[in-house]
Structure 1
Amino acid sequence: MSQPGTETRGFQSEVKQLLHLMIHSLYSNKEIFLRELISNASDAADKLRFKALENPDLYGGDAELGVRIWIDKDAGTLTIADNGIGMTREEAIENLGTIAKSGTKAFLQSIGNDQAKDSQLIGQFGVGFYSSFIVADNVTVTTRAAKATPDQAVVWQSAGEGEYTISDAQKETRGTEITLHLKEEDKEFLDDWRIRSIISKYADHISLPVEVQTIDEETKETKWEKVNKAQALWTRSRNEISDEEYTEFYKHISHDFAEPLSWSHNRVEGKQEYTSLLYIPSKAPFDMWNRDHKHGLKLYVQRVFIMDDAEQFMPNYLRFVKGLIDSNDLPLNVSREILQDSKVTQNLRNACTKRVLQMLEKLAKDDHEKYLQFWREFGLVLKEGCGEDFANRESITQLLRFASTQQDSDAQTISLDDYISRMQDGQEKIYYITADSYNAAKNSPHLELFRKKGIEVLLLSDRIDEWMMSNLTDFAGKAFQSVSKSDESIEKLAEQETDEQKQAEKELEPFIERVKTALGDKVKEVKLTHRLTDTPAIVTTAADEMTTQMAKLFAAAGQKVPEVKYTFELNPDHQLVKQAADTQNDSEFNDWIELLLDQALLAEKGSLNDPSQFITRMNKLLTK
């Protein structure tokens, strides 16, 4: 007979997929399920402490928080219990039956059966509870919210096969009790020594005591023995914390399964007193670009947990940083609204931002490969800082990495210091080009002069690059210059000095006038250029005008785009330009000029307003 108030519900489809991946994927490290459950218990205790700041009655006479674990070998069960915040019926359904993150479904579908990726999944969603099903074929959760009465508890039960039941229950104490009915092949976790070793390995840094039940064989008396150190890791001295402990603490606070690339543990005393422990992850979360992506640090005040995702302490372009701040200068009842306007918050934010940038500088200097791994994962996010953080722009610019004409690869590995060290004698500017793709940038006709002269050009093809460059003016005293814009330094490189060349240009002046007449106001200006070798014509924009890539950004954002007026530059040495110049028939001449302009616009923009007209005109000239 079913319990009162019992209902059977289906898991959200994303949960089904996640459970399937976990149950059927080969985990090389099954013991992590216990780490995740202890971590969740620790979070439940933190939340209760915070809520009790306003309402001490929530403790209900039991203020000593902790986790208790016991084994029942006869029943084949392992139970993990806490006396933290607990859950109501609605919260149990929400927390145990759904994954409330947008983009989850698309991400799960993209994973397929790649088991190397599967092992990272639990951390991606912050839903470590589901790791229970790696070792258990049935899981029972009994929970009572701190504000509830004993008869308002609920029991949640599932075999991890697509549905679960939830029913009313009686529970004398607040908190959550999770009982795992272990699979036959996972009975190793019924061993007392095995459980103790896992707790020591994964839970030493948690400030919550984790106790294991022992039964005296003679008296049959039950005792509880604390296994972990139960001292918050960040309160300990750096030289007594091992790298392994730092790594485990990162996994605890971030629910990430990969190890961090770098971390910084810092205690500041004096005018302001705080401790910060900041980590750089090694993998970007799948929802880094989602609007609901949680970022920021955990905030503690005088070692009391206050809030998750305190984004006020880190600028948006460093949203990938994980860790915590423990401040002695903020009030215990601090809210997000108070944080927003607090001078203490602003000072902490500035200090943490500088520390992260220093961590990245050190990583770039000490470990080139690790830094490039960071750049591949988070480079796009860091680029946002060029326009968001004026005070640290120089440090951010130093950290940027680019592809360039120096290498035959789209890998972004070149720093601006590398570029400057290779600049030619007399070269005054850092040259770059922005385009829709690496190949479009690499094969742009704008590069012909620079290849001929052996001058390196940075190839920028990320969507954010044009916006980023609009916020960068110079680096180490060298100005940035787009090769698709008109500029004196480029004209100087392309100058032709022989009398014969000057005479040839003079003879083409009537041709240029004729082109101007043919095109009218379609272009801003028409002129000859010597910056091309293989291409008949290009279009460029003036130094003070919007570039093609910026216009595309505006259009993609749904904004009205001002018309870009180009300068049409013709290569007098190219056979097609010579052929056009020799054409006497006005109609045919106009077709040639329109065709050359469309070619140049196609190379610059990647599309044309009227491609069919371009094709008709080209076919017409080809048949002649």
Structure 2
Amino acid sequence: MSKQGTETRGFQSEVKQLLHLMIHSLYSNKEIFLRELISNASDAADKLRFKALENPDLYAGDGELGVRIWVDKDAGTLTIADNGIGMTRDEVIENLGTIAKSGTKAFLESIGSDQAKDSQLIGQFGVGFYSSFIVADNVTVKTRAATAKENEAVMWESAGEGEYTLSDCDKATRGTEITLHLKDDEKEFLDDWRLRSIISKYSDHISLPVEVQTIDDESKDVKWEKVNKAQALWTRSRSEISDDEYKEFYKHLSHDFADPLIWGHNRVEGKQEYTSLLYIPSKAPWDMWNRDHKHGLKLYVQRVFIMDDAEQFMPNYLRFVKGLIDSNDLPLNVSREILQDSKVTQNLRNACTKRVLQLLEKLAKDDNEQYQQFWQEFGLVLKEGTGEDSTNRETIAKLLRFASTHNDSDTQTVSLESYINRMQEGQEKIYYITADSYNAANHSPHLELFRKKGIEVLLLSDRIDEWMMSNLTEFEGKSFQSVSKSDESIEKLADQESEEQKQAEKELEPFIERVKTVLGDKVKEVKLTHRLTDTPAIVTTSADEMTTQMAKLFAAAGQKVPDVKYTFEINPDHPLTQKAANTQDDSEFKEWAELLLDQALLAEKGSLNDPSQFIQRMNKLLVK
């Protein structure tokens, strides 16, 4: 490795913004800087253990893996050192000078100056190192990669403003040593008791020993005293672990600043032996919809860290789950490729999926308010499971929540079980409507019959809903029915049996034939309907045809969309229908027929192919 001398480099602009947020938003919780630095040291030790599986020489010398902390009261410095994997010069630039995640800049701009929001979100970048600048006005990092020689170490220095300096240095041992030059009003962190209490509070669960230096006043002998339990939390019995310890371990794993909603800790013995500790976060990560979003599971084999982002153990629709799996059945040198095809992996994936769904069922049953918080953050992702996971589809369906005509609100609180409990006697199906927005769904003319009969309809307006409903065929023996599709059960609801009604329909037969002639192949069929009260006409699709919303999904994805042929259903009791039926002039009649169809298409699709023609036609008829 050649020497590269001293250079000064500018921070990536996102880092500058993040440092500003760190220093100004997290000040009320400033002691977390120590948790973050110890957590990073623990990760460095994990990575060294893993690399040493292939190259045991990396362990040579430098004693047992651990973290050491000491202060220099005269100089006003606090130092945190580990003997883990260390960093090369390029890794220092990558890890301490940039935030390598797509979309970071746009995200930082979008959160603006909402400080309450800032403090919740900063941890989601996994950049805990920068929290050093909450308490320090200058930070020095000395690091030597495990593969480097004593004179190939790197020193990084910064005051946390616009730039940092890199230089070569000597370091006797591998690993990283971070020295914080504390601000004048942060000298409390030089106090031995204060440091010990923070370590006990935040880092007790870390499997690495965290030692604090003590110097005998008389003999000046230096001693190192272990402060934490130094036993991997997931290896302890559940009864021994407090809720606070579980919460702190979650923050160590995820670098999230908020508490998790719920967690499950399980040890399985028998045919397969493994421990899982799985957490449901309370906030969605800002990059959950990014293609490069990382899954939140760590894999350990016999307590040795193997990999981050072990996506093989959790389906994509549960990508928000954080935690770890520690398996006794996988080889220590397991790779991602081997995991892909392993029967052990598949069994673990199935077990962990079931475990998470059970956690969510428990949350929904025990604490509806907290479940609603979960649904608001992760409901859209969970909906993906209806198509991805046919084995657990019924369980996922129980966890879904909807807006409906039962509640006058766009908040999604209605479960399918509660819908079924409210179904009317003789009601055969679960009725729903999909639309571009809640208001479009809630005010759709398709609902008029159902409101009149007091039948509840689910109002679906998320982009994924149409696709989701194509995968949900039934729930507890009741099939789903879109109210915008023609269906026998809807016809039965709308049937009018009076002789007077039948006579009126017979009289309108010539009108229907006349409309068919005028519209030609613009529609599949024209017929009278009794499902409307306030609207002159609607369009519907038949059961085997693509719905309007599905056609929009295809178009949005750049796919060729087949023409949707609608059935044009006309309300015989509406004044506009009667006005059109009484129009003798063929040219004017054509305008009425086209206008009624355009109105129905506008209500169904939210747009028209030629809106200006629609406006001209309407204006012409209004003037007449």
For 1:67, the equivalent position in structure 2 comes to 67
Contact 1:296 1:312 in 2 (8 A): no
For 2:158, the equivalent position in structure 1 comes to 158
Further displaced range: 59-68 or 613-622: 59-68
Instruction: Report how far residue 22 of structure 1 moved.
Output: 1.4
Instruction: Report how far residue 63 of structure 1 moved.
Output: 5.3
For 2:619, the equivalent position in structure 1 comes to 619
1:195 aligns with 2:202: no
For 2:128, the equivalent position in structure 1 comes to 128
Superposition TM-score, scaled by structure 1 size = 0.99
Query: How do 1:114-513 residues align onto structure 2 when only pairs under 5 Å count?
Result: 114-513=114-513
CA distance in 2, matches of 1:437, 1:63: 62
For 1:27, the equivalent position in structure 2 comes to 27
**Residue by residue, what CA displacement relative to the aligned partner does 1:455-506 show, whole Å, maximum 9, x if unpaired?**
0000000000000000001101111000000000000000010001001001
For 2:515, the equivalent position in structure 1 comes to 515
> What one-letter code is carried by the residue in structure 2 that aligns with 1:488?
E
SS in 2 for 1:533: coil
Contact 2:62 2:173 in 1 (8 A): no
Instruction: Report how far residue 533 of structure 1 moved.
Output: 0.4
SS in 1 for 2:308: strand
**Residue by residue, what CA displacement relative to the aligned partner does 1:378-433 show, whole Å, maximum 9, x if unpaired?**
00000000000000000000000000001111000010111111111110100000
Contact 1:432 1:457 in 2 (8 A): yes
> What one-letter code is carried by the residue in structure 1 that aligns with 2:23?
I
**Residue by residue, what CA displacement relative to the aligned partner does 1:17-52 show, whole Å, maximum 9, x if unpaired?**
000111123522110000000000000000010011
> What one-letter code is carried by the residue in structure 2 that aligns with 1:514?
R
CA distance in 2, matches of 1:63, 1:551: 65
Contact 1:122 1:131 in 2 (8 A): no
For 1:10, the equivalent position in structure 2 comes to 10
CA distance in 2, matches of 1:98, 1:315: 30
**Residue by residue, what CA displacement relative to the aligned partner does 1:578-619 show, whole Å, maximum 9, x if unpaired?**
111111111111111111111111110011111111111111
For 1:37, the equivalent position in structure 2 comes to 37
> What one-letter code is carried by the residue in structure 1 that aligns with 2:370?
K
For 2:99, the equivalent position in structure 1 comes to 99
SS in 2 for 1:439: helix
> What one-letter code is carried by the residue in structure 1 that aligns with 2:336?
R
CA distance in 2, matches of 1:323, 1:64: 26
CA distance in 1, matches of 2:120, 2:161: 21
SS in 1 for 2:565: coil
Q: Which runs of 4+ in 1 moved over 2 A?
A: 24-27, 60-63
> What one-letter code is carried by the residue in structure 2 that aligns with 1:93?
I
CA distance in 2, matches of 1:495, 1:120: 56
> What 5-or-longer segments of structure 2 have no aligned partner?
none
Contact 1:49 1:304 in 2 (8 A): yes
Contact 2:121 2:286 in 1 (8 A): no
Identity %: 87
Contact 2:67 2:208 in 1 (8 A): yes
> What 5-or-longer segments of structure 1 have no aligned partner?
none
> What one-letter code is carried by the residue in structure 1 that aligns with 2:22?
M
SS in 1 for 2:28: coil
CA distance in 2, matches of 1:133, 1:121: 17
CA distance in 2, matches of 1:39, 1:261: 21
> What one-letter code is carried by the residue in structure 2 that aligns with 1:504?
A
1:87 aligns with 2:71: no
CA distance in 2, matches of 1:324, 1:63: 27
CA distance in 1, matches of 2:554, 2:58: 53
> What one-letter code is carried by the residue in structure 2 that aligns with 1:589?
F
Contact 2:445 2:535 in 1 (8 A): yes
In the alignment of these two chains, the number of paired residues is 622
> What one-letter code is carried by the residue in structure 2 that aligns with 1:9?
R
> What one-letter code is carried by the residue in structure 1 that aligns with 2:354?
K
CA distance in 1, matches of 2:457, 2:223: 71
Superposition TM-score, scaled by structure 2 size = 0.99
**Residue by residue, what CA displacement relative to the aligned partner does 1:232-287 show, whole Å, maximum 9, x if unpaired?**
00000000000000000000001001000000000000000000000000000010
Instruction: Report how far residue 4 of structure 1 moved.
Output: 6.9
What RMSD, in angstroms, separates the aligned Cα atoms of the two structures?
Answer: 0.9
